[in-house]
């Protein structure tokens, strides 16, 4: 795996594209400008890695579109040292972005193949998420809660209650809800018992699957 000047050049153009689409958070743009996205994809897609598109990864899953990664990351309003939970580790690209933003990152993946592969790969790249979990994201990670923010990177049929209850007061849940396409939702916990909900545009994700066992 090499990160050549050609890759770096394409990455700068991608950052420009994201800015033109309205992404303004400097730290998010910097992270995307830094992380070699082509490392997170099958080598056969290497030439396309800096297009603003989702691509297939293992286990019938996808690496999210860069605009989606940027949009969700921006909505989370991450500050250094924040406790952040990601549902759907997948390729680990979004996990790497969260690490670059200075968060203490916890991430859950239900596909064992991806969980194993990505765990090894992130550590090879030098990323140190606090905890990668093989399990069901619907349940969150109660043993590490509360979190400053939670990001769901798969389309949820409904908002799982445990995720809302694992937010700190002031914490933010960014979750795409609905069937294809999903509507991006932001829930801000305004008190122990109250949440403020905002809706954003349409996005397309693979489904957040419920484990039946
Ligand atoms: N953040 C990833 C997105 C991968 S696609 C990336 O940028 O690469 C969504 C991921 O969510 C898939 O890897 C899928 O296996 C995982 N997923 C789906 N349902 C899940 C669940 N209930 N719990 C945890 N992960 C889940």
CATH number for 87: 3.40.50.150
Note whether residue 170 is domain-resident. yes
| SS (HEC) of 24-62 | CCHHHHHHHHHCCHHHHCCHHHHHHCCCCCCEECCCCCE
Q: Answer yes or no: is the C-beta of 50 below 6 A from any ligand 1 atom.
A: no
Contact 89, 107 (CB under 8 A): yes
- Phi and psi torsions of 133, nearest 5°: -115, 135
Q: Answer yes or no: is the C-beta of 108 below 6 A from any ligand 1 atom.
A: yes
Closest CA to ligand 1's atom 15: 111
Note whether residue 111 is domain-resident. yes
Average pLDDT (49-78) is 95
Closest CA to ligand 1's atom 6: 63
State the pLDDT at residue 169: 98
Give the nearest ligand 1 atom to 210 CA.
22
Average pLDDT (95-116) is 97
Mutation to probe ligand 1, out of 49, 57, 61, 105 (largest number of atoms < 8 A from CB): 61
Note whether residue 75 is domain-resident. yes
pLDDT band at 1 (very low <50, low <70, confident <90, very high): confident
- Phi and psi torsions of 178, nearest 5°: 120, 180
Contact 105, 129 (CB under 8 A): yes
Note whether residue 24 is domain-resident. no
Q: Answer yes or no: is the C-beta of 63 below 6 A from any ligand 1 atom.
A: yes
Domain count, the chain: 1
Instruction: Say what the pTM is.
Output: 0.97
Note whether residue 28 is domain-resident. no
CA of 200 to the centre of ligand 1 (A): 21
- 125-142 confidence digits (pLDDT tens): 999 999 999 999 999 999
Query: Can you give the residue range of the structural domain that contains 62?
Result: 55-203
Helix (H) or strand (E) holding 15: helix 5-20
Note whether residue 179 is domain-resident. yes
User: Taking 70 as the threshold, does the pLDDT of residue 80 lie above it?
Assistant: yes
State the pLDDT at residue 148: 98
**Active site residues per annotation:** 64
Q: Answer yes or no: is the C-beta of 65 below 6 A from any ligand 1 atom.
A: no
Closest CA to 105 of 120, 124, 121, 92: 92
- Written as six digits, the tokens of 208 are 């957040």
Compute the distance between CA of residue 80 and CA of residue 96 in angstroms, rounded to an integer.
Answer: 14
Residues 6+ apart with CB under 8 A from 86: 94, 95, 98, 105, 106, 107, 108, 150, 151, 153
Note whether residue 113 is domain-resident. yes
Compute the distance between CA of residue 33 and CA of residue 161 in angstroms, rounded to an integer.
Answer: 35
- Written as six digits, the tokens of 68 are 């989606």
- Written as six digits, the tokens of 56 are 């297939």
State the pLDDT at residue 59: 86
Helix (H) or strand (E) holding 185: strand 182-189
Compute the distance between CA of residue 108 and CA of residue 157 in angstroms, rounded to an integer.
Answer: 18
Note whether residue 1 is domain-resident. no
Compute the distance between CA of residue 171 and CA of residue 9 in angstroms, rounded to an integer.
Answer: 36
């Amino acid at each position: 795996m090499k990160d050549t000047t050609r890759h770096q050049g394409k990455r700068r153009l991608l950052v420009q594209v994201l800015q033109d689409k309205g992404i303004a958070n400097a730290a998010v743009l910097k992270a995307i400008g830094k992380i070699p996205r082509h490392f997170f994809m099958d080598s056969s897609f290497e030439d396309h890695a800096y297009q603003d598109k989702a691509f297939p990864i293992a286990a019938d899953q996808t690496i999210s579109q860069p605009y989606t990664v940027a949009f969700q990351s921006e909505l989370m309003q991450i500050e250094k040292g924040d406790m952040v939970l990601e549902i759907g580790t997948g390729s680990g690209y979004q996990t790497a972005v969260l690490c670059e933003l200075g968060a203490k990152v916890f991430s859950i993946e239900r596909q064992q193949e991806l969980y194993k592969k990505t765990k090894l790969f992130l550590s090879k790249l030098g990323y140190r998420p606090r905890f990668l979990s093989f399990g069901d994201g619907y349940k969150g990670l109660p043993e590490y809660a509360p979190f400053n923010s939670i990001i769901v990177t798969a389309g949820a049929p409904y908002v799982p209650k445990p995720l809302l209850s694992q937010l700190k007061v002031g914490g933010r849940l960014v979750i795409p809800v609905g069937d294809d396409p999903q509507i991006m939702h932001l829930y801000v916990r305004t008190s122990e018992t109250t949440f403020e909900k905002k809706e954003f545009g349409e996005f397309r994700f693979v489904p957040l699957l419920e484990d039946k066992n």
